[in-house]
Amino acid sequence: MTNTPETPSIPAIAWEYTFPLRLLFQLFLRGLLPTLQYMLFHPTSIPFPTAWRKCFLNAGQPVLLAEADVMYADIKRQLIGQARGRVLEVGAGTGETVKYYKKGQVDVVYGVEPNVDALGDLRKQLVKHDIVEKYEILPFGVEDEARMKEAGVDPGSIDTIVCVSALVVGA
Dist. CA 100–CA 113, nearest whole Å = 18
Provide DSSP, 135-147.
EEEE-S-TT-HHH
Dist. CA 122–CA 128, nearest whole Å = 10
Please give the chain's pLDDT, 171 residues, in tens.
567 778 888 888 888 888 888 888 888 888 888 888 888 898 888 888 888 888 887 788 778 778 888 888 999 999 999 999 999 999 998 899 999 999 999 999 999 999 888 899 999 999 999 999 999 999 999 999 999 999 999 999 999 999 987 655 544
Q: Which helix (H) or strand (E) segment is 58 a member of? A: helix 49-71
Say if residue 65 is exposed, middle or buried (CB neighbours under 10 Å; 0-12, 13-18, 19+). buried
> How much is the pTM?
0.72
Domain spanning 80-162: CATH superfamily: Vaccinia Virus protein VP39 (3.40.50.150)
Chain region(s) in the chain for CATH 3.40.50.150: 80-162
Helix (H, G, I), strand (E, B) or coil at 19: helix
For residue 160, which phi and psi values (nearest 5 degrees)? -140, 135
Dist. CA 57–CA 66, nearest whole Å = 14
Dist. CA 74–CA 99, nearest whole Å = 12
Dist. CA 30–CA 67, nearest whole Å = 13
